Amino acid sequence: MNQTVSHNASNHYYSVLPESTWQLLRWIHFAMPVAEFAALVADIEPRISGGSTVAPMELVEDRTRVAAAYFIQLEGSVATLGGVRAKVGREMQAGKLIDLYLRQMQATGIAQVQALVDANDVAAKLAMLNSSFRQVTTVKHLVFDLSLSRFNPNLSRLSSTFQLRPACEFPRDCVDQLVAETFEATLDCPDLDGVRSSAEVVGGFLESKPWDENLPWWVLCKGSTPVGCSFVNPHPKSVFELAYVGLVPAVRGQGLGRVLVEAAIADCSSRGGEYLATAVDTQNWPAQEIYRSLCFSELRELGVWLPKVAKSQQAAA
């Protein structure tokens, strides 16, 4: 049961209704192991079937599905590509499908639409190349095995003028402002800087969690002035994600980024975590050096794609 969005002769673009979502996701992720796919569906299907995002879409030629894609709407007015698949020779049509999807999402007021595509997924990359998206950078997904190292952060790097404090001790608008300041001259996906407000960015990291003492977020202060932060989010099966680490320009180059990462490792370890995952832009060489020196392992590389007009639209606004 589908709703026709557009058609051309025997080609039909459909929005997939909730009751058909599972079958479409299985077609897109046909090579994914069953257990991994079940975990994926458990995570994303409620977002789709609950109407919190634009419905998945497919292209049907002569009653045969030849391409499909879906995006997931996240906190902070973000939509990210969940998956795309095209049969051989239908990559151009898949690109048009993605563009149609993009226009629908932009019409709903989503501020940032992005796609993260595995560097080894040739078919998905071809679909993106045939769309109005452009690859802006590459990120590495890294993981730290917390069971191999139970240690306290090396706070000896902190002079008496610096201290780590729980983020919940600060008002949300103060943390929003701090994040905005850490974006200055950032090496982490600079093309995303300015696409959303800092409040939307923090809301995306927060993922609807309560702003209380249980939140594993930290603010680094110089005296009483916030100058840096680290945000950690818990996930199922004792996995934690280091979602963000940032410093204001005035305190960079002093080893404080490593202190924030070490503090995150120690905090996740104390909470019973088994793994700490993170992602780092391949252009951000200082952050890569920190993770390399702490023995994070690389899992995979993902290309980051944005609509080609995203920055120009932001400048006009």
Q: What is the pLDDT of residues 132-166, one digit of tens each?
A: 999 999 999 999 998 875 555 555 566 678 899 99
Q: Are residues 46 and 119 both part of a single domain? A: yes
Q: In DSSP terms, which residues pair with 145 in a beta bridge?
A: 275
Q: Are residues 187 and 263 both part of a single domain? A: yes
Q: Are residues 67 and 30 both part of a single domain? A: yes
Q: Are residues 59 and 155 both part of a single domain? A: no
Helix (H, G, I), strand (E, B) or coil at 216: coil
CB 217 within 8 A of CB 168: yes
Q: Are residues 263 and 162 both part of a single domain? A: yes
Looking at the chain, the whole-number percentage of residues with pLDDT higher than 70 is 85
Would you state the pLDDT for residue 49?
63
Report if residue 88 sits inside a domain. yes
| DSSP one-letter code for 147 | G
Residues 6+ apart with CB under 8 A from 154: 258, 259, 262
Q: What is the mean pLDDT of residues 62-74?
A: 90
Report if residue 204 sits inside a domain. yes
Q: Which residue has the higher pLDDT, 218 or 110?
A: 218
Q: Which domain holds residue 83?
A: 2-131
pLDDT tens digits along 176-226: 999 999 988 876 776 666 667 888 888 888 888 888 888 999 999 999 999
Would you state the pLDDT for residue 1?
41
Would you state the pLDDT for residue 210?
87
Q: What is the mean pLDDT of residues 117-126?
A: 91
pLDDT tens digits along 32-54: 999 888 888 887 777 766 655 67
CA pair distance 239, 235, nearest whole angstrom: 5
pLDDT of residue 127 exceeding 90: yes
Q: In DSSP terms, which residues pair with 90 in a beta bridge?
A: none
The average confidence (pLDDT) of the chain is: 85
Q: Are residues 158 and 266 both part of a single domain? A: yes
Closest by CA position to 227, among listed 282, 286, 159, 275 = 159
List the CATH number of the domain containing 113: 3.40.630.30
CA pair distance 146, 294, nearest whole angstrom: 11
| Range with lowest mean pLDDT among 142-146, 232-236, 270-274, 309-313 | 309-313
Q: Are residues 298 and 149 both part of a single domain? A: yes
